[in-house]
Amino acid sequence: MTTNRFDTNQAEPTRAETRRVTPAVDIYENQAGFLILADLPGVEPSGLNVEFNPPELRVRAQSTGLSYERRFELGSGVDPTTTSAELKNGVLRIELKKSEAVRPRRIEVRAS
């Protein structure tokens, strides 16, 4: 049996057939850091790449027929050693902690 390489019913899409999508995200910030939730339906962990090169966070993902990419400019106040990411049920959860130097601090006032 020969395979027609121009067959339009092929299982895997070609690069030209892959559609680029900007994933929907929710971003939350509090005194301790940032939480980013990105919708990545159909993406498996093996098709996901999350890179943090301060100050930029980049998320790239591939699933059948779709290519996701999103970049975030976070500034220099994020501690890269405490960053974590988890993919569950098509939602990517990225937690980024702020560096101690940029976290708000309560200043005690003394009476004189």
Query: How far is it, in rounded angstroms, from Cα 96 to Cα 29?
Result: 9
pLDDT tens per residue, range 19-74:
888 889 999 998 888 999 999 988 999 999 999 888 899 999 988 888 999 999 98
In order of their start, the domains of the chain are 15-99 (2.60.40.790)
Report the predicted TM-score, pTM, of the whole model to 2 decimal places.
0.73
Instruction: Decide if 34 contacts 26 (C-beta within 8 A).
Output: no
